[in-house]
Structure 1
Amino acid sequence: MSQAADSPNTEAASAPGPRAILFDLDGTLLDSAPDFYEVVNSLRRQDGLSELPTAQIREQVSNGGAALTCLTWNIQRDDPVFDKLRVRFLDHYRHYVGSASRLFPGFTAVLAELELLGIQWGIVTNKPRRFTEPLLAKLGINAPVVICADDVPNAKPAPDALLLAASKLDLEPQQCWYVGDHIRDIDAARNASMFSIAALFGYIESSDDPASWNADASIQRPDQLLTLLQQA
């Protein structure tokens, strides 16, 4: 999904302007990967394993704790020790939540502009609430609506969480845009009948091809979201 650095790839001109914009969390709204660099490598050091490059860890952050558990100990999900190590990984992560996370550059201004425009916003994430709430609190982020994987029967790419967010904002799904950095985000938006935007600055694996996601639009930087709004 190639595009000029200053121009989002978009078909938004034919899409209605949103009443709300919903964001995935890790790799979209927040650059939370630095929290996991030390989580993964400190566990590896404890077990006598060599440290992994930060770029390798970064690629897996949007895939969640299960993928990071597999990466940390070089195991598969069907390994007999997976469940035990996943618990160990998540317990260890609790001590690092928000330690190095930041909004991606540009989002402070984007969220302020959304407020000025009267456009609501929210967070829809597959991250469990027990980690999401302390992370947002540590960064001082007060989203009008936050939906986590454990709030709904089915996590993304199912539409459940996105539909719940729209309902809490008293909106129809078609009145919302959804921004994410993984194909599951784009699929979830499509399944919820929301306009989908691929965040190409997020945690995209080197083997992945965002063009194949068939998002309605894509952005290289957070501020390009405002360009999409101007074109809608």
Structure 2
Amino acid sequence: MLPAPKAILFDLDGTLLDTAPDMAAALNRVRAEQGLEPMPFEAIRPHVSNGARGLLGIGLGITPDDSGYEGLRERFLALYAEDLAVHTCLFPGLEALVESLEQRALPWGVVTNKPGELTRRLLEALEITPAVVVCGDDLRRAKPHPDPLLFAAGKLRLPPNAIWYIGDHERDVVAGNAAHMPTVAGRWGYLDGERPIESWGATVVIDNPEDIAHLLSRADQDATHTETVDAK
């Protein structure tokens, strides 16, 4: 059971925004510079939530321990920054959801491991204005540590257990659970297949962004029912 929230926080890549096309394009530009053929989009998409480290791992077979990693990481991020909002958009159903949240004065925000400069440029380019944004380099520790979620809760001036956190990666659920936030895992995101989504320990697993509205409606009904019973 999910309690009616006083705010909702979203992961960014693979949850709120479909950034995979632009990130895949940047990876294939790096591959081209290395004399490699482009990778199929379908092979890249599941790894987008793992950021530059995950993409360079599957695209170039390198890790942060390799000597050339940092240079290639900087090149990938530079290429991505050049065209970070060409094909990126809200996932279907989320524009309407965001509008409904704003109409009901329910604050919403973003907690992501994406670097702050890229995150804020992207949100500005898409004219998206969350109430709070916490990025991967804003604090000393990023997800799966709960610190970014707790920081966001503090900025919203709400207890963590009054906020839903919605994500598409196990680290999102781990961070949310550690912060004592109800967690929602979405199947529409960039699932990397490492562990089944049902095993992450989320409060609820949903298939589509439209399901968030159904969860909110159900939580509101449960809250109304509880208030009615308590009043008797």
Amino acid of the structure 1 residue aligned with 2:95: T
Deviation, 1:148, is 0.6
Q: CA RMSD in A?
A: 1.2
Q: Provide closer, same or farther for how the CA distance between residues 172 and 207 of structure 1 changes in structure 2, counting only shifts above 3 A.
A: closer
Q: Is 1:58 aligned to 2:49, yes or no?
A: no
Select between 207-216 and 153-162 the one with higher mean Cα deviation. Answer: 207-216
Matches of 1:144 and 1:207, distance apart in 2: 32
Separation (CA, whole Å) in 2 of partners of 1:76 and 1:152: 23
Q: Write the distance in 2 (CA, Å) between the matches of 1:208 and 1:16.
A: 27
Is this contact kept in 2: 1:70–1:82, CA < 8 A? no
Q: Given the alignment, which residue of 169, 177, 183 partners 1:196? A: 183
* Equivalence for 1:97: 84
Instruction: Please say if residues 97 and 213 of structure 2, whose CA atoms lie closer than 8 Å, have aligned partners that are also in contact.
Output: yes
Residue 223 of structure 2 is matched in structure 1 by none
Report how many residues are paired. Answer: 219
1:22 and 1:124 in contact (8 A); partners too: yes
* Counterpart selection for 1:132 from 112, 116, 119: 119
How far residue 153 of structure 1 moved from its aligned partner, in angstroms, is: 1.6
- For residue 207 of structure 2, what is the aligned residue in structure 1? 220
Distance in 1 between residues matched to 2:3 and 2:18, nearest whole Å: 29
Query: Which protein, 1 or 2, shows the higher relative CO under an 8 Å CA cutoff with sep ≥ 6?
Result: 1
Among the aligned pairs, what percent are the same residue?
44
Deviations 1:32-65 (A, max 9, x none): 0010121111221222111111011111110011
Give 1 or 2 for the bigger CA radius of gyration.
2
Report if the CA contact (8 A) 2:30-2:75 is conserved: no
Structure 1, unaligned runs of 5 or more: 1-11
Instruction: Indicate the residue corresponding to 1:209 in structure 2.
Output: 196
Helix, strand or coil: the match of 1:197?
Answer: strand
Question: Equivalent of 1:32, from 2, 19, 24?
Answer: 19
Residue pair 2:10, 2:166 contacting (<8 A) in 1 also = yes
Supply the distance in 1 between the matched residues of 2:148 and 2:63 (Cα, whole angstroms).
Answer: 27
Per-residue CA deviation, residues 76-122 of structure 1 (Å, 9 max, x unaligned), is 33222112211121122111211210000000111111122221100
| TM-score, length of structure 2 as denominator length | 0.91
Cα distance between partner residues in 2 of 1:67 and 1:117? 38
